[in-house]
Every structure is written in structure tokens, then in C-alpha cells.
């Protein structure tokens, strides 16, 4: 299954980011805590090379807490300010404000020495599609400042949001990169829903998820669906279909419907808190 997805609006969005970066004090990179490496756009390092940086491990409520703790330590060792969070939380504002101020301290001190006072900190929130950027901004602003959705590509234009903490946030569209370095990256992005299912073979993808769960999280499938995890991946998918009534005329299995249902439940965390990527140690 060869996975690549780079719709036309992403090229335009990347050019816009290159223009906007000169206005920015801080680049906040929002990653999916379940796949911190695959959800890091390698082009951000080049775009933000002279800017203060911050890493947010979002959807930490869906990820394996032990794995997320190790990933937090991993990025902190690289000198990054790091927070693990759920972007829907109403209690984010204070820890986010502190983290932003910590990450931009050197810049703010330089401004004061130049006689520049009370200028808002300008931060760009960057990340892949469907990682939760707009949801995060809405939680921080306390209102529906940005459009949200559970499909990649909901935010397609830039928008500034002013927070009462003298912080201006620039929301950007979710951007992937033109070619994934390896197919594992594409698969991991597809597993968490960062790539549109319309360009995927969801039946094959669901089999990959089943295989991963059998190896990394034994018991997750049997606990959710009461299936025999010793069987082959396709047999497990078939068993899920019959248990959930995903059948068509003649009692035949509707594999597309089954795959859609299974992937949706996996992505929503209904099979438990699961991380797809682990640190080396």
C-alpha cells in the first residue's frame, strides 16, 4: 500500500508560511502523541531555523501514557519546551501561557533592551492535518475562534487569534510534505487519520492496524470485540464485521463498512490508550 497525499492547497499554504514566518517570535509544533516522529513535518526545521521552538504532544489522552512520558523526555533532551496535552481541555490556558513565555524569554529580553514594551508575543501553530490545531486555539481563546473538524483539511487559510495574555496566535492549515521518506511514515499518518481516507485502501489499512495491535497491545482487540487474536488478521476483521452486523445481501461481509467502523473506533481511543511509535530506549 503506497501512501502519498499532498493536495494542491498545501503548496499554497507552505508558501504562505514562508512569508508569515518573519512576523513570528515562536513556532509551536503540534504533534500527535501517538506518532511523534511521523507527525513531525521535516520541512518545519528549515522554515523555523531562527525562531524559538516549542513542542506540543497533543491527543495525549489517546496515547499510551508511559510512551508519551518517554517522548516528552526525548524532545526535552533536544532543548525543546514540551507539553503533553489534550487540546480540548478547558484548563490549558495557564500552562500554555507559561510555556510560551518561557520559550520566548530571550526574545522578550532583547525587545526590552531596545525599548520595545508590551508587544504581543506572536506564535505560529504548525502541524499536520487533523492534529488539533484549531481545537487548541478554541480552548485557549475560550470561544469558537477557529473552525474545527475530525477530517484533515478543515482549516485552509491563515487566521490570527488574539489571546488576553498578550499573545497572538497564527493558526495555519495542516501541511504534510510532498514525499514521505518511507512507507512506515505514511502508514502511521494514515492510521491516526492525518491522511484523507478517500485516497486510502481502508480495508488494507485496517488489516495493518489489526496486525500492529496483536503484536504491540495484545488483548486490545479481544477486549473490544471478543475476537480470537490467534487467528489471521483478515479473519479477525471478518469476525468484527459479523459481530457489528456489517453485512450485505446474502450474509456477505461489507469490508469497506467494517474497515471504516474499526478505524473510527481505533482513532477515537475506544480500543484503549495506544501509541504507535515508541522511543528507542
Give the model's pLDDT for residue 128: 80
Residue with the bigger pLDDT between 156 and 253: it is 253
Give the model's pLDDT for residue 10: 58
DSSP 91-129: T-HHHHHHHHHHHTHHHHHHHHHTT--SPPEEEEEEE-T
Give the model's pLDDT for residue 13: 65
- How much is the pTM? 0.85
* Tens digit of each residue's pLDDT (9 = 90 or more) over 92-148: 888 998 999 999 988 888 988 999 888 889 998 888 878 888 888 888 887 655 444
Task: Please give the angle made by the CA atoms of 71, 214 and 209, to the nearest 5 degrees.
Answer: 70
Question: In order of start, what are the domains of the chain with their CATH numbers?
Answer: 8-171 (3.40.50.300), 201-267 (1.10.1580.10)
**Mean pLDDT value of segment 158-178:** 74
Residue with the bigger pLDDT between 8 and 20: it is 20
Residue with the bigger pLDDT between 165 and 84: it is 84
Kindly report which listed range (56-60, 74-78, 180-184, 232-236) carries the lowest average pLDDT score: 180-184
* Tens digit of each residue's pLDDT (9 = 90 or more) over 174-212: 665 556 667 888 899 999 998 877 777 999 999 999 999
Residue with the bigger pLDDT between 181 and 37: it is 37
Amino acid at each position: 500500500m503506497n501512501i502519498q497525499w499532498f493536495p494542491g492547497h498545501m503548496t499554497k499554504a507552505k508558501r504562505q508560511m514562508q512569508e508569515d514566518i518573519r512576523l513570528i517570535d515562536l513556532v509551536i509544533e503540534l504533534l500527535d502523541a501517538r506518532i511523534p516522529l511521523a507527525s513531525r513535518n521535516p520541512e518545519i526545521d528549515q522554515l523555523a531555523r531562527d525562531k524559538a521552538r516549542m513542542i506540543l504532544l497533543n491527543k495525549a489522552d489517546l496515547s499510551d501514557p508511559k510512551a508519551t512520558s518517554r517522548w516528552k523526555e526525548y524532545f526535552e533532551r533536544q532543548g525543546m519546551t514540551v507539553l503533553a496535552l489534550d487540546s480540548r481541555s478547558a484548563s490549558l490556558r495557564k500552562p500554555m501561557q507559561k510555556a510560551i513565555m518561557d520559550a520566548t524569554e530571550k526574545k522578550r529580553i532583547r525587545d526590552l533592551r531596545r525599548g520595545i514594551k508590551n508587544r504581543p508575543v506572536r506564535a505560529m501553530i504548525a502541524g499536520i492535518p487533523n492534529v488539533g490545531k484549531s481545537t487548541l486555539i478554541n480552548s485557549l481563546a475560550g470561544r469558537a475562534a477557529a473552525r474545527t473538524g475530525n477530517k484533515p483539511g478543515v482549516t485552509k487559510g491563515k487566521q490570527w487569534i488574539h489571546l488576553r495574555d498578550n499573545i497572538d496566535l497564527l493558526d495555519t492549515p495542516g501541511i504534510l510534505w510532498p514525499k514521505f521518506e518511507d512507507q512506515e511514515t505514511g502508514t502511521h499518518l494514515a492510521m491516526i487519520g492525518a491522511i484523507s481516507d478517500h485516497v486510502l485502501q481502508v480495508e488494507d489499512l485496517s488489516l495493518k492496524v489489526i496486525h500492529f495491535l496483536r503484536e504491540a497491545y495484545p488483548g486490545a482487540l479481544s477486549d473490544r470485540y471478543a475476537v480470537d487474536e490467534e487467528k489471521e488478521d483478515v479473519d479477525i476483521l471478518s469476525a468484527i464485521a459479523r459481530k457489528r452486523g456489517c453485512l450485505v445481501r446474502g450474509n456477505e461481509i461489507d469490508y469497506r463498512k467494517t474497515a471504516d467502523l474499526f478505524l473510527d473506533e481505533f482513532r477515537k481511543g475506544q480500543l484503549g490508550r495506544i501509541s504507535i511509535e515508541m522511543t528507542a530506549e
